[in-house]
Amino acid sequence: MSFSTMFSTMGVGMLRTCSIFFLTLLFSLPLGMIVMFLRRSRIKVVQGITKVFIAIMRGTPLMLQLLVWYFGPYYLFGASIRGYRFTAIIIGFSVNYAAYFAEIYRGGIESIPVGQHEAAEVLGYSKSQTFLRIVLPQVVKRIMPSVTNEVITLVKDTSLAFTLAYNEVFSLAKQISASQTSFMPFVIAGVFYFIANYAVAFAMERVEKAFNYYR
Amino acid sequence: MVLEMKNIRKQFDGLEVLKDISFHVDSGEVVSIIGPSGSGKSTLLRCATFLETIDGGEILYMGEHAAHTDASGKAVYVHPKQLHRFRSYCGLVFQQFNLFPHYNVLKNLTDAPIHVQHRSREEAEETAMELLRKMGIADKANAYPYQLSGGQQQRVAIARALAMRPEILYFDEPTSALDPELTGEVLKVIRQLAEEKMTMVVVTHEMPFARAVSNRVIFMDGGVIVEQGHPEAVFGDPEQERTRQFLSNYQR
Ligand SMILES: Nc1ncnc2c1ncn2[C@@H]1O[C@H](COP(=O)(O)OP(=O)(O)O)[C@@H](O)[C@H]1O
Ligand SMILES: [Mg+2]
């Protein structure tokens, strides 16, 4: 197999990896917001259930969670899981990352001084105005470094999709390497992940800089 | 009468912080509240500005009840919609300024007028600039709070409160977080507001200032008003031994 064939075969895997990455962010970032609100709910039961949920998401391997999301419907309900592989991967990643993002959001919100809420309250801002106009913009700035860490972890975590035999970059590299007895696929995969991480770090740094206009 | 508080009671899990406090503030009056730390001064201002809810008593603004006590002795507030209107009567200046760090000075002053009071941007900005000129910081309109000194930040905070056109302005130790050389510039603008007959209640430890500027002084200790009256009476010849004791800490 020539290098260019190898590269173009793996290119398909790269696109798949990218789609896991972007779809996971697309769903988990807002989903994390919902989980955070539930975690901060004044209703004790809701708060408790959310705590347990977050503990499970963070306390068990993502690899195991992917297997449960994929095979769960079959074992629990006898449902057909044909054509469900990619969906299961996106659900598994999104739900898992939402739990992490929720905790990052929560830390950010709780780090905003109570004086900010009180100043807004006296000025007559409603609860939602206070959140959207005063609290959230400051939270976004504060959590940026933690979010960056999480996003970089996600780039590497996408390789866990191999658990469900999904042919993203990592799985393809393994397969091609075995069939061609070549080390090259691993080098290509490694370079790909490195560049992807570099791009993410670069983009996030730009976003962080955009918030530097205040302290 | 702008504000009337009658028989105010407030406790924090069992600890009685305000014990049957009654006082009022007339239009154009400047009332200073003095007293040792922990005597309930901040709590009283926080109840007056609806940051805390009272357990018993009555709060009236412009003669209208914001809260009263029902037959069972429990404090009852008006509907939240109406409470919003009562809130708009009062402004509060905090010890720690509490400016919005992500907004520049101008936006700190215009955001609430525009988004809470639905005034036009042009009008809000015009009012804001006028206030900043008055506070002597018109050149800082585009600066962010972190770029200002403490004294400048506190003047922005005062301007932000005034931009809402409150009927009464409360100050909770407005100079306590400032370096001594910066307190003067803040006290000066409060004094200027007093001359313009702005209704104000000022919790302060600046005794000469309280004596010079107020129409009335209230001395609080242990959750009660020990003594109140004309500043010359309270400072010059206090009736209560406790007041005398407290004031002696400030005189040499
Ligand atoms: N949110 C709160 N929870 C519990 N105790 C409080 C709270 N706020 C104030 N206190 C207590 O109430 C008392 C009066 O406090 P405060 O009104 O801040 O006094 P001052 O402003 O005169 O120093 C203090 O003993 C303080 O510890
Ligand atoms: Mg206090």
Helix (H) or strand (E) holding B64: strand B64-69
Residues of chain A positioned with their CB less than 8 A from the CB of B94: 115, 118-119
Confidence band of A81 (pLDDT split at 50, 70, 90): confident
Confidence band of B131 (pLDDT split at 50, 70, 90): very high
Please report the pLDDT score of residue B252 as a whole number.
53
Over residues B48-75, mean pLDDT: 93
Q: Is the pLDDT of residue A104 over 90?
A: yes
Confidence band of A2 (pLDDT split at 50, 70, 90): confident
Token duo for residue A167: 């042919």
- Residue B146 near residue B104 (C-beta atoms within 8 A): no
Confidence band of A180 (pLDDT split at 50, 70, 90): confident
Confidence band of B30 (pLDDT split at 50, 70, 90): very high
Please report the pLDDT score of residue A80 as a whole number.
81
What domains can be seen in chain A, in order of their start residue?
3-210 (1.10.3720.10)
Report the mean per-residue pLDDT for chain B. 94
Please report the pLDDT score of residue B113 as a whole number.
97
CA separation for the pair B80, B64 (Å, rounded): 15
Q: What is the pTM of this model?
A: 0.90
Q: What is the DSSP letter of B10?
A: E
**Nearest C-alpha to atom 13 of ligand 1 is from which residue?**
B38
Q: Give me the sign of the Cα torsion angle A59, A62, A67, A69.
A: positive
Give the gyration radius of chain A's Cα atoms.
Answer: 21
Residue B15 phi, psi dihedral angles, 5° rounding = -85, 115
Length of chain B equals 252
Q: What is the DSSP letter of B93?
A: E
Q: Which atom of ligand 1 is nearest to the CA of B43?
A: 17
Cβ separation B87–A129 shorter than 8 A: no
Please report the pLDDT score of residue B133 as a whole number.
96
For B173-231, what is the HEC assignment? CCCCCCCHHHHHHHHHHHHHHHHCCCCEEEECCCHHHHHHHCCEEEEEECCEEEEEECH
Cβ separation A116–B98 shorter than 8 A: yes
Tell me which of A108-117, A145-154, A171-180 is least confident: A171-180
Over residues B127-134, mean pLDDT: 96
Over residues A14-40, mean pLDDT: 96
Give percent of chain A above pLDDT 90. 75
Question: Position B243: which residue type?
Answer: T
Question: Position B43: which residue type?
Answer: T
Closest Cα in chain A to B93: A119
Over residues A27-47, mean pLDDT: 97
Q: Is the pLDDT of residue A7 over 90?
A: no
Tell me how far CA of residue B135 lies from CA of A51, A63, B156, in angstroms: 49, 61, 8
Residues of chain B positioned with their CB less than 8 A from the CB of A123: 112, 116, 160-161, 164
Q: Is the pLDDT of residue A1 over 90?
A: no
- Residue A148 near residue A154 (C-beta atoms within 8 A): no
Q: What is the DSSP letter of B135?
A: T
Confidence band of B64 (pLDDT split at 50, 70, 90): very high
CA separation for the pair B110, B112 (Å, rounded): 6
Confidence band of A52 (pLDDT split at 50, 70, 90): very high
| Angle (deg, nearest 10), helices A85-110 and A44-59 | 120
Closest CA to B174 of B200, B201, B203, B145: B203
Tell me how far CA of residue B157 lies from CA of A118, A147, B160, B198, in angstroms: 13, 33, 5, 16
Using CB atoms, which residue from B88, B98, B115 is nearest to A118? B98
Confidence band of A5 (pLDDT split at 50, 70, 90): confident
Residues of chain A positioned with their CB less than 8 A from the CB of B51: 118, 121-122
Q: Which ligand is nearest to the CA of B53?
A: 1
Q: What is the ipTM of this complex?
A: 0.94
Closest Cα in chain A, distance from residue B88 (Å): 7
* Best mutation target, B46, B100, B160, to test chain A (most A CBs within 10 A): B100
